[in-house]
Amino acid sequence: MNAPARLRALLAKPDFVVMPAVWDGLTAKLTFGAGFQTAFLSGSCVAASRLGGPDLDLITFAEMFDSFNMVHGAAPDLLVLADGDHGYGNPMNVQRTVRAYGRAGAAAILIEDKITPRALTAAGKPCLPREEARMKVRAAVQAAKDSGILVMARTDCRPTAGIDEAVARIEMFVAEGADILFLDSPADEAEVRRAVAAAAGRPSFAVLSPGAPRETPSQKRAAELGLKIGTYPTGMLSPAVAGMKAGLAALNAGKAGAESALAPAELRATLGYQDYETHAKQFIVG
């Protein structure tokens, strides 16, 4: 059973799916080792790790795809939802993006309706006209048939065009054959329920990390509202940044490491030194 089929089977179960956000081999390995079956290759996390900056559409397809290959190489059994962003261009670019991730082993891919290139501001996310957004999703669904990769269609239009337009787009994406639906930035639980209803029984995805101006229910409440998948882009990123800051502060204070640092033996075990030694023995000569 390939990755898309395994994800379909997982989503058919009644459980709420927690999808940690990953950005490289280490985060993928830790996520799979912690027992999670799925992960979201998050554009915001990749932007943070590669650029040391915000998620403002500066990351390229090549950089995201390279990050996917790191993630998939470190945890090949992890079911990865790849952030395809706006597809990096017109519907033909969308098809190239979808096919590339499908061939590479992603379980699903996100395609959104934002305008690219982004306006030179961090405020708001102006979106394509409705019919242009339809064509992008149509192109993605068509290209996905090659590999079976699931298509998650996202609308970012809620803050700029309102909830009625956002719900209409979700209904349109369902009609075009999207497998998973995502309303970005719902204002409250009522809007979440409207988006879930518009998905017409197909799984609904949500970003549940706190801090942004959107409804962020608990996992339990998200499931009660009808959401199926929740991701947490800051779930590992924020503690990782805090840990690195703590390490640097310890060095500045004349110490060898922060109090929160892993013991050397635990760090080596986590990174797989002993696993390497065990596997390498078969190739030692003499």
Under 8 Å between Cβ of 44 and 2:
no
Q: Which domains does the chain have, with CATH numbers?
A: 3-234 (3.20.20.60), 241-283 (no CATH)
Q: What is the pLDDT of residue 124?
A: 73
**pLDDT tens column, 137-152:** 999 999 999 999 999 9
16 residue type, one letter: F
Residues of the chain above pLDDT 70, percent: 100
Structure confidence at residue 119 as a pLDDT band (50, 70, 90): confident
pTM of the entire predicted model: 0.96
Structure confidence at residue 167 as a pLDDT band (50, 70, 90): very high
Chain centre distance of CA 159: 21
**pLDDT tens column, 190-217:** 999 999 999 999 999 999 999 889 999 9
| Whether pLDDT at 121 is above 90 | no
Question: Within 13 A of 107's CA, how many CA atoms are on the CB side?
Answer: 26
